[in-house]
Chains A and B, each alone.
Chain A
Amino acid sequence: MEHAVAATPAWAVLAYLAAGVLFILALRGLSSPESSQAGNRNGMIGMLIAVGTTLALRPTGLELIIGAIAIGGGIGWVIAQRIQMTAMPELVAGFHSLVGMAAVLVGCAAYLNPGAFGITDAATGAILAVSRVEMGLGVAIGAITFSGSIIAFLKLSGRMSGSPILLPARHVINLGVLAGIIVLTGVFAFDAAAGMGQGPLLWVILGLSFVIGVTLIIPIGGADMPVVISMLNSYSGWAAAAMGFTLQNTAMIITGALVGSSGAILSYIMCKAMNRSFISVIAGGFGADSGSGGAKGEVIQKAYKAGSADDAAFIMQNAETVIIVPGYGMAVSQAQHALREMGDLLKKEGVSVKYAIHPVAGRMPGHMNVLLAEANVPYDEVFELEDINSEFGQCDVAFVIGANDVTNPLAKTDKTSPIYGMPILDVEKAKTVLFVKRSMGGVGYAGVDNPVFYADNTMMLLADAKKMVENIVKALNGGGH
Chain B
Amino acid sequence: MDFLSILSIFVLAVFVGYYVVWSVTPALHTPLMAVTNAISSVIIVGALIAAAAGAITDGGGLSQWLGLLGVVLASVNIFGGFAVTRRMLAMYKKKDKKPAASK
Contact = CB atoms under 8 A, between A and B. Distances in A.
B39 to A, nearest CB: 5
16 contacts: A20-B13, A30-B35, A33-B92, A43-B82, A50-B44, A77-B79, A92-B33, A102-B43, A102-B73, A237-B40, A244-B6, A252-B46, A258-B17, A258-B20, A364-B30, A364-B33
Interface in A21-67: 23-24, 26-28, 30-33, 36-37, 39-40, 43-44, 46-47, 50-51, 54-55, 58-62, 64-65
Given A72-B73, A102-B70, A247-B45, 13 more contacts: A24-B16, A26-B35, A64-B68, A72-B71, A72-B77, A73-B78, A75-B76, A80-B87, A106-B46, A108-B63, A115-B57, A116-B57, A357-B27
Given A95-B37, A113-B63, A116-B56, A366 B99 contact: no
Contacts of A230: 33
Nearest to B14: A257
Contacts, number: 399
Interface of B: 1, 3, 6, 9-11, 13-14, 16-18, 20-57, 59-60, 62-64, 66-95, 97, 99-100, 102
A215 interface: no
Given A43-B38, A77-B83, A95-B80, A51 B44 contact: yes
Given A54-B49, A240-B43, A112 B13 contact: no
For A33, A79, A241, A248, which residue has the most chain B Cβ atoms within 10 angstroms?
A: A33
A130 B14 CA distance: 21
Contacts of B38: 43, 47
Q: 7 closest Cβ contacts across the A-B interface?
A: A72-B75, A116-B53, A76-B80, A366-B29, A109-B50, A257-B13, A80-B83
Contacts of B68: 64-65, 68
Contacts of B89: 33, 36-37, 40
Nearest to A385: B26
Contacts of B73: 72, 98, 101-102, 105
A136 to B, nearest CB: 15
For B14, B21, B102, which residue has the most chain A Cβ atoms within 10 angstroms?
A: B21
A375 interface: yes
A257 B88 contact: no
A28 B35 CA distance: 11
Given A75-B76, A373-B92, A113 B53 contact: yes
Contact of B41 (A71, A80, A102): A102
A61 B52 contact: yes
Contact of B27 (A74, A240, A246, A379): A379
Contacts of A65: 48, 51-52, 68, 71
A36 B57 contact: no
B91 A373 contact: yes
A370 B21 CA distance: 18
Given A76-B75, A102-B43, A265-B21, A375 B48 contact: no
A73 B42 contact: no
A211 B32 CA distance: 29
Contact of A31 (B9, B24, B87, B90): B24
Interface in A222-239: 229-230, 233, 236-237, 239
Nearest to B93: A378
Contacts of A375: 102
Given A81-B87, A366-B27, A61 B64 contact: yes
Contacts of B46: 106, 109-110, 117, 243, 246-247, 249, 252
A303 B43 CA distance: 58
A324 interface: no
Contacts of B29: 266, 269, 364-366, 369
A256 interface: yes
